[in-house]
Chain A
Amino acid sequence: MKKNKQLFYKTTIISLLFALYSCSTMSSSIEVSANIAKKPELNLMPFEEIVITDFLQKKEKPDFDINHEIKDYFAQEMRIKTKKRVKLEQISAEDEKNFKEKEFWVSLSDKEKKGIILSGTYEYKSETRKALIKDKKKFEDPFSYEDRFARRSMYSLILDLYFIDSQTGEVLFQRKFSETKTYENPNQIPAFAFYDLIFRIKEKLFRDIFAEPQPQQRYLILK
């Protein structure tokens, strides 16, 4: 009799423990990362072609033809992304004011084709910076440090981009992108640094104009 009673209590306690365990292991929320949709800032669908013009240089002249590099780079990237015809034109705004003058762009463009003009200004800067850093003494005591000056080269690319309707001259999208990168190598080749920077700008530009969904965190809940 006593044994049976004990058995009953044991069974009840074990069952309750199981029930409590299953309740405690059930989390009330789960954080998920979802690619949340965005609205595209520019609709390229109605346009038959993309016309890339010369870019207006704002400040110092670099060692290489940066205008040519920007045009080629965007021509290739836009062609791949949009599958549209991309035309390179040797026309350029004479002044920054021209970007907002509708007549200026209408007079330059082909009236038969509905195109979108990509133009803008650029600024490419480089400078060498010196930094005081602590370095291990070589061949002597490995635990002692000595101060030394390190040279770093820093490159900046500022691109002010305009997307203009070729038939109306209206600015459909405009944004200024600024990217800077520092290299440990003081003799960094400017052209290579340029490609690092323009790649970053392209990523940001495409995220805006093609509304590439961005990963964001949200909570899904159970109760």
Chain B
Amino acid sequence: MNTKTVVLMSLLILLLLLTGCVMYLPQDEVKFGIEAAQKGLWDEAIFRWERTLQSNPNSPAAHNNLAVAYEKKGDFDKAENEYKKALELSPENEYIQSNYKKFKENLNKIEKNENKDEKK
């Protein structure tokens, strides 16, 4: 193996790694959304996760994160839809399960209050 081959092989490996990074783009968008959400920029986060879903509609992460964002905004119908889609795609994911459980608890409280109002 001469020096030329070694350099070429190393370049090839580097290229492969770079391709891996490029292939990672939708996930980068998810990550960017998370960073935005952590800074309180929930609209930006929603934009990023919706864009992720355009290129990868079967991303449980994007559906779950969108559900959290909608819940934060008080849009409970949209949040429920997104949680359901996330659970359909990844039923074993304990993070989604935990989020959905807490969401349901929150929603039940709200529904109970609404029922109380109706009774009055």
Expressed in whole angstroms, the Cα–Cα distance for A220 and B63 within the complex equals 10
Chain A nearest CB from B117 CB (Å) reads 8
Q: Is the interface of B mostly helix, strand, loop or mixed?
A: helix
Asked whether any CB of chain B lies closer than 8 Å to the CB of A183, the reply is no
Q: Which of A26-34, A65-73, A75-83, A143-151 contacts B (4 or more CB under 8 A)?
A: A26-34
Digit string of A170-210 for contact with B (CB within 8 Å is 1, else 0)?
A: 11100000000000000000000000000000000000000
With A and B bound together, what is the CA distance between A220 and B96 in angstroms?
A: 9
Of the listed residues B6, B30, B109, B117, the one surrounded by the most CB atoms of chain A closer than 10 A to its CB is: B6
Question: Is residue B54 within 8 Å, beta carbon to beta carbon, of the partner chain?
Answer: no
Contact string against A for B residues 54-95, beta-carbon threshold 8 Å, 1 for contact and 0 otherwise:
000000110011001001111000000000000000000101
Residues 32-46 of chain A: 1 if any B CB is under 8 Å from the residue's CB, otherwise 0?
Answer: 101111110100000
| Contacting residue for A8 out of B10, B73, B102, B120, CB 8 A | B10
A107 at the interface (CB under 8 A from B): no
Given the complex of chains A and B, what is the CA–CA distance between A5 and B2 in angstroms?
8
The A-B contact count (CB < 8 A) is 90
The CA-CA distance from A15 to B6 in the complex, in Å, is 14
Residues of chain A contacted by B73 (CB below 8 angstroms): 37
Complex partner residue of B2 from A4, A38, A218, CB under 8 angstroms? A4
Give B24 Cβ to nearest chain A Cβ, in Å.
10
B window 19-71: CB within 8 A of A: 20, 27, 30-31, 33-34, 37-38, 60-61, 64-65, 68, 71
Interface presence of A7 (CB below 8 A): yes
Contacts of B38 in A (CB 8 A): 30, 32
- How many Å lie between the Cα of A12 and that of B14 in the bound state? 10
Interface residues of A in 205-223 (CB under 8 A from B): 216-223
Q: Which residues on A sit within 8 Å (CB–CB) of B17?
A: 15, 19
A223 to B56, CA, bound (A): 12
Across the A-B interface, give the 4 residue pairs with the lowest CB-CB distance, nearest first: A37-B74, A219-B95, A221-B61, A218-B68
Residues of A within 8 A of B (CB): 1, 4-5, 7-8, 11-12, 15, 19, 29-30, 32, 34-39, 41, 170-172, 216-223
